[in-house]
Amino acid sequence: MAEITLDKTLDVKPVIPSIELSIKRYAAPRAKGMFSDNIWVFDGKEDIDNSIFAWTISGKKYLSAAAQYTSNIDPLPDCDSNCDWMVNSHMVCHLFLFGAGTLSLAEVIPLNIVRDRRLLKGKPRCQSIKAMAVAGAARDVLLITLGYSDSAEPAEARYEPPEFVTTIALHFDSTPGVLRVEQRDDCLGNPNNYKTIAAARKRLRECEATIPRSQEAGAR
């Protein structure tokens, strides 16, 4: 089992510029060159959200940062109008993990929000990191609460599109020498309506209570 704890001994502020630069270098080619300047790092300086934290994961120290950018510029197959606008306004969020000592990129995890056609005409536009914390009783899980909107909403300065909130669970596997992270939606669902870490933790505890101990041990 991977044990994840927030590491308050590391000062993240001095390394923020280096982290931002590394993320932009990684993301720009994956945006196919069209949106190389449209990459936003949630660092707590220009954005109201902060995702840059220090963590200890299975005894090793990491720094996390989340970024928002356009990675998929293909239109939806069921799009019939304003398709270019939907493509351009579609944004995804990724979580980046860096080695705390070297700032080398250790892992990139897409934060997947499933498109619910009952809510969204276009693709989910990931637009904010509301909160990030360990899952509590589930020591190998990191919870991230995301704010998102519909990429099909019109661009009007005086109009704020409706925002939806969902919380995702990232499961860590502590195989020696390898960092493996998997987003699992089997318990929380995707998308869901868990707007706080506390609500997602409660649901995870309910899920764990329904899993037989023998099955839980076998899964790990």
pLDDT by position in tens, the chain (length 220): 568 888 988 888 888 889 988 988 888 777 665 555 677 888 655 445 567 899 988 888 999 999 988 765 566 666 666 666 666 667 889 999 999 999 999 999 999 999 999 999 888 989 889 999 999 877 789 999 999 999 888 766 677 889 999 999 999 986 666 788 999 999 999 999 999 999 999 999 999 888 665 444 444 4
Give phi and psi for 145, each to the nearest 5.
Answer: -95, 125
Separation between Cα atoms, residue 32 and residue 72, nearest integer Å: 9
Helix (H, G, I), strand (E, B) or coil at 204: helix
- CB burial of 66-80 (b: ≥16 within 10 Å; e: otherwise) equals bbbbbbeeeebeebe
Helix (H, G, I), strand (E, B) or coil at 112: coil
Beta bridge partners of 104: none
Which residue is associated with the tokens 């989910």?
A: 124
Separation between Cα atoms, residue 187 and residue 204, nearest integer Å: 7
Query: What single DSSP character describes residue 43?
Result: B
pTM value is 0.85
**Left, alpha or beta for 59 (phi > 0: left; psi -120 to 50: alpha)?**
left
